[in-house]
Amino acid sequence: MTTFHELLGTNDNCSKADIKKKYRQLSVSLHPDKGGSQVLMKMLNLAYQQVIQGNGNQKCAEIPFGSDDNADVPQQNTAVLKEKIRTLIKEKAHLQALIEQNQQQLTHAYNAGENCAREALVLLQTTNSRLNEQLLVLQRQIDSDTTSAHGVNKGVKSLYIVIIASLIIIVALIVWFIWHYKTQHLQPQSLPSIPVTTPVSVVSVTPSQSTVIEHTETENNVERIMLTDTVGLWQQRYYEGTRQPYIAVRSANGSYIVKDCQGTFSYYSHHSARVAANLIYSTNDHQFAVYRIPYGNGSTDQQWLNSKSVSINNNIFSNNGYKSSSLALASVCRNSVPF
């Protein structure tokens, strides 16, 4: 027969708090609102009272069950209730076994993870020690190779110097020969020079006689830029009739900003007008008056790199494509540092 301890899931070692906890758990599942019945709740209350009073080991059948309102309960209902009690006890035992199994699996998994972490740590420490030893061996080899190769490097450097000097001399002779051939056989007929009377506007400054002479001589030997219809984009070009590279950008009104291999910026004015003080007149090219920009707005790479556009003499010049074009110019001009 089933005892009150078995019915409630307790034993003699359970405290009153444990007994009350078991009672609350079973009352939730046996409550009429949860699919139970009033008879089951009364049996649960009776078991709770008997266990609290110390009668948990008594058989349920030894205690008269019910009151005046349930004295006529049929015997078959009692058998059904006992069967439900046995089912609940089996489910409780099954759940307890699952809890113990899960706890064991959790313990095993924790121990396995801890052991794996320890093994990985030991492996990493061993690998680190081995790599440190290899590093020391390689460092010793490098030191010894450097000492032995020091004397050989001196001879190699001397040989390199001799070869480079020979190449420089050969290149210089070839350049001199080409220049000499051009000056002796390809010298064009010089045209009679015509005085230039076109006025050039500079900031409230009248060019002196020496300036006019220098201007006339410069015009005769000027390297003309290639014209383009593209507005607002820096592009690499070559001066007409030469292989001298430059980069330039065109404004909306047809003026240009030009940067050459020496890193000098020049302003090619499309219309005659008064110019800013930092624009120094240089020469004429096509229909342009050319001004150098030695200082001020538009005279440095940083100004073009750090702004989307630069305003020069009321002309807006974009920096679109400036960085890539300047790098290409530096490569062609054989400059290692473009900025």
How confident is the model over 215-274, as pLDDT tens digits?
Answer: 444 444 457 899 999 999 999 999 988 889 999 999 998 999 999 999 999 999 987 668
Please report, to the nearest 10 degrees, the dihedral formed by the alpha carbons of residues 121, 124, 126, 132 taken in order.
-140
Residues forming beta bridges with residue 258, ordered by sequence position: 248, 266
295 phi and psi angles, rounded to 5 deg: -155, 175
Answer yes or no: is 218 within a domain. yes
- For 26, the domain range is 4-111
The answer to whether residue 144 is domain-embedded is: no
Q: Is residue 229 part of a domain?
A: yes
Q: How far apart are CA 294 and CA 306, in angstroms?
A: 19
pLDDT of 314 > 60? The answer is yes
Residue 123 domain-assigned (yes or no):
no
How many domains is the chain partitioned into structurally? Answer: 2
Q: Which of 96, 111, 126 is the last residue of a domain?
A: 111
Round to whole Å and give the CA distance between 332 and 260: 11
Listed residues 85, 111, 137: the one ending a domain = 111
Among 72, 94, 111, give the residue marking a domain's end: 111
| Inside any domain, residue 183 | no
Query: Using CA atoms, how far apart are residues 148 and 48, in angstroms rounded to an integer?
Result: 96
Q: Using CA atoms, how far apart are residues 237 and 247, in angstroms rounded to an integer?
A: 6
274-308: pLDDT as tens digits: 888 889 998 888 788 999 999 999 999 999 999 89
In a domain, 125, yes or no: no
Angle among Cα 322, 323, 329 to the nearest 5 degrees reads 85
Mean pLDDT of the chain: 79
Residue 47 included in any domain:
yes
- Specify burial of residue 34 (Cβ count, 10 A radius: 0-12, 13-18, 19+): exposed
Q: Do the domain assignments include residue 178?
A: no
Helices (H), the chain: 4-8, 16-30, 38-52, 75-185, 209-220, 301-305, 322-332
pTM for the full predicted model: 0.37
